[in-house]
Structure 1
Amino acid sequence: MEDSAGPKRSVTVADVAKAARVSKATAARVLGGYGVVSDKIKDQVMAAAAALEYRPNELARSMSTGRSGIIGIVVGDIENAFFSLAVRGISDAARLAGFDVIISNSGEKLEAEKSAVDLLIGKRVDGLIVTPARCDSIEHLRHVGRAGMPLVLFDRSIPELAVDAVTGDDREAAIAAARFMVEAGHRRLAYVSAMDPEGDGLTDLTRISNSAVRERVEGFVSVLTEAGLPSPLHYVRLGATDQAQTDAVMKRLLSDPSPPTAILASDSLVGLRVFKSLQSLGLSIPDDISMISFLDADWTSVTVPPITVVDQRVYEMGKLAGERLVARIEQIPLAVERLRVSTSLVIRSSVARIGR
């Protein structure tokens, strides 16, 4: 027999108050998380709310408190284990502080990032965490501040914006990786990144609009220069954006009259693509060529051989970014900072020692 009673009526604060035998104002204070009530009354109200399956009206709550209870996150590539770990850290910090999250993926495309930021501003989120696709196009990020929302940058920094940034210690991480390969006897070192190239060849590091990539390349180049190696930018390659492009990048690198003997991959996705490219070319790691990858992703420890990596402590980075944004939302007085999370080199079996 069909139920002719129609849709179930939403449970209201008044219903909860009646069931808990308290005033509507008291029930509203408990359910809204503001004001002061005794533990006994709070327990009564929460028990009544659970029994009635009360669901808060988020729109009404946001109108009364001026907050949505939501944090917006815009990341570069959620497929990348780096960003997946970061989002988990951000989400855990947000949830602990009573916030939900909305996640948007820019695909490292500026226009997609702008659209995501506009959408989240329109939804009146309480704050934003953004991984900027480019650090030289920032008007949409300035608009976040004009909209009255706190902003924290993640993984990349933009000094021109007076906002907090949480990053890895990118320059030092690349220095440690490159120095390890140089000390193993390597003199022809390549750096491979997924960042889209701008023109042919890389002759000016200021042209790299991604601050994390730029700082890593700067660290990489500084080690080669320190070691007295010629043309330190010669083997720096951008554009490893998918497997086909990475295969093309690797073929060009290895067809050089003096091909590199070691490669530093800028992230775990690039590292995996490089690994597959070398396999498809029939090259053995580290007998034919050595490699190190950023990020201690799962795949790096189960390959043959396991890959030496830069451990970036990404979960901690995400958690710190979430905590910083919550502090800004709560208007805790803090100086604007770039918070760098230290890295370490996890040495495995993918770098061979070679004769000088």
Structure 2
Amino acid sequence: MTVADVARSANVSKATAARVLGGYGTVSDKIREQVTTAASALGYRPNELARSMTTGRSGTIGVIVGDIENAFFSLAVRGISDSARNAGFNVIIANSGEELQAEKSAIDLLIGRRVDGLIVTPSDCRESDHLSDAIRVGVPLILFDRTIPALQVDAVTGADREAAIAATRHLQDFGHRQIAYITAKEGAVGEFFTNEYQLPTSSVLGRVEGFLATQSANGVLDAHQLVRLGATDQKHTDAVVSHLLNGSAPPTAILASDSLVGLQVLRSLHALGMSVPEDISIISFFNADWTTVTTPPITVVDQPVYEMGRLAAERLIARIDGSGGPAEHTRLQTSLISRGSVGRPK
């Protein structure tokens, strides 16, 4: 079915039918109704590539996230998609797997598909040339969950440093001093945080900095030695937790950097026969569904992830529509949901 078929059925010129179906130019309400009624009756479907060449827009935005299996990103994509759909945009989703090369390939592919803008969760905030290239070719870009200040583009994130401070203080209020922070960033068993280069994402770095500052204020001067890397899967998390608990000063509490790590840590503790919170306390970032059905339910840092996704899409669409002004970094505040997984240390 072609534009010419719709034009004949609506008894208008092909140019007039194209204007209505392509969403550009001006026609009367009567003509628009004739054309849309004819198109619907004939089952016409627009050629998106042809329309993008005519209007300069594809009506799509590209979204690249770190791990679509992570409930955090799934909920964020829902917020992005709902907001985009309400504005008349479709969404193409790509998963980087937190790998820089996959992220670069996804950006090239999406730009090749003529997306009108990009929302990207950068896998490595130290590498941004490929993002700069996207900006140079005129593709509006929003960073999600993580930020790269040198890029001078809009970003929507959580208040990560403040969230870690609140979670650490909560543990301190229960009397904990030996607190471990466990993250999924690559690292060997026993490797601990020594410098920011080890943490390629701004969100995790902000949380670690908040954790360390709060521990230092509480008189714990070697807290960085309990910031452990390498919890990339269950096997590695088992090793990280075992190494911590068999050390000379084992932690009495654990702060997990995201819900996947939190679940893996909980499994590791159960495999070692440890009870929460009787033997050890735990807090996890992100209020994932599983955190409410464990015994006891898990204390979490609740992040407004859906709202973050919605705001990122709204900001991108505003940029696509020509909104000017300086780049904005929007930080959404978190809250701590206290449940049963935190108790006093033995």
Q: Which residue of structure 2 lines up, in the alignment, with residue 173 of structure 1?
A: 163
Alpha-carbon distance in structure 2 between the residues aligned to 1:248 and 1:59: 51
Q: Which residue of structure 1 lines up, in the alignment, with residue 309 of structure 2?
A: 318
Alpha-carbon distance in structure 1 between the residues aligned to 2:41 and 2:325: 42
Please say if 1:221 is aligned against 2:212. yes
| Structure 1 segment 24-39 matched on structure 2, within 5 A | 24-39=14-29
Question: CA offset at residue 259 of structure 1?
Answer: 0.6
| Structure 1 segment 323-334 matched on structure 2, within 5 A | 323-334=314-325
Contact in 2 for aligned 1:89/1:316 (Cα 8 Å): yes
RMSD over aligned Cα atoms = 1.5
Question: CA offset at residue 20 of structure 1?
Answer: 2.1
TM (norm. structure 1) is 0.94
Alpha-carbon distance in structure 2 between the residues aligned to 1:348 and 1:42: 57
Unaligned runs of 5+ in 2: none
How many pairs does the alignment contain? Answer: 345
TM (norm. structure 2) is 0.96
Alpha-carbon distance in structure 2 between the residues aligned to 1:260 and 1:274: 13
| Structure 1 segment 43-54 matched on structure 2, within 5 A | 43-54=33-44
Q: Which residue of structure 2 lines up, in the alignment, with residue 110 of structure 1?
A: 100
Please say if 1:60 is aligned against 2:50. yes
Please say if 1:151 is aligned against 2:125. no
Of 231, 238, 249 in structure 2, the residue corresponding to residue 258 of structure 1 is 249
Alpha-carbon distance in structure 1 between the residues aligned to 2:10 and 2:30: 11
Please say if 1:352 is aligned against 2:346. no
Alpha-carbon distance in structure 2 between the residues aligned to 1:50 and 1:200: 62
Alpha-carbon distance in structure 2 between the residues aligned to 1:114 and 1:37: 42
| Structure 1 segment 1-356 matched on structure 2, within 5 A | 11-197=1-187, 200-354=191-345
Question: CA offset at residue 29 of structure 1?
Answer: 2.1
Alpha-carbon distance in structure 2 between the residues aligned to 1:108 and 1:233: 24
One-letter amino acid of the structure 1 residue matched with residue 34 of structure 2 = Q
Note closer, same or farther for the CA distance 1:273–1:200 as it changes in structure 2 (3 Å cut): closer
Identity over the aligned pairs, expressed in percent?
Answer: 64
Alpha-carbon distance in structure 1 between the residues aligned to 2:60 and 2:100: 23
Contact in 2 for aligned 1:121/1:147 (Cα 8 Å): no
Contact in 2 for aligned 1:166/1:320 (Cα 8 Å): yes
Contact in 1 for aligned 2:24/2:55 (Cα 8 Å): no
Q: Which moved more, 1:269-278 or 1:21-30?
A: 21-30
Deviation readout 1:120-164 (Å, 9 max, x if unpaired)? 122221111111111111111111011211111111000110111
Contact in 1 for aligned 2:244/2:251 (Cα 8 Å): yes
Contact in 2 for aligned 1:205/1:218 (Cα 8 Å): no
Alpha-carbon distance in structure 1 between the residues aligned to 2:136 and 2:345: 56
Question: CA offset at residue 57 of structure 1?
Answer: 0.8
Contact in 1 for aligned 2:191/2:228 (Cα 8 Å): no
Deviation readout 1:150-195 (Å, 9 max, x if unpaired)? 1111110001101111100000000000000001111110101111
Alpha-carbon distance in structure 2 between the residues aligned to 1:337 and 1:196: 30
Unaligned runs of 5+ in 1: 1-10
One-letter amino acid of the structure 2 residue matched with residue 173 of structure 1 = A
Q: Which moved more, 1:30-39 or 1:44-53?
A: 30-39
Question: CA offset at residue 281 of structure 1?
Answer: 0.7
One-letter amino acid of the structure 1 residue matched with residue 225 of structure 2 = H
Alpha-carbon distance in structure 2 between the residues aligned to 1:105 and 1:166: 19
- Secondary structure of the 2:9 match is helix
Question: CA offset at residue 206 of structure 1?
Answer: 4.6
Alpha-carbon distance in structure 1 between the residues aligned to 2:250 and 2:127: 36
Question: CA offset at residue 92 of structure 1?
Answer: 1.3
One-letter amino acid of the structure 1 residue matched with residue 84 of structure 2 = A
Q: Which moved more, 1:282-291 or 1:40-49?
A: 40-49
Contact in 1 for aligned 2:191/2:229 (Cα 8 Å): no
Alpha-carbon distance in structure 1 between the residues aligned to 2:269 and 2:29: 64
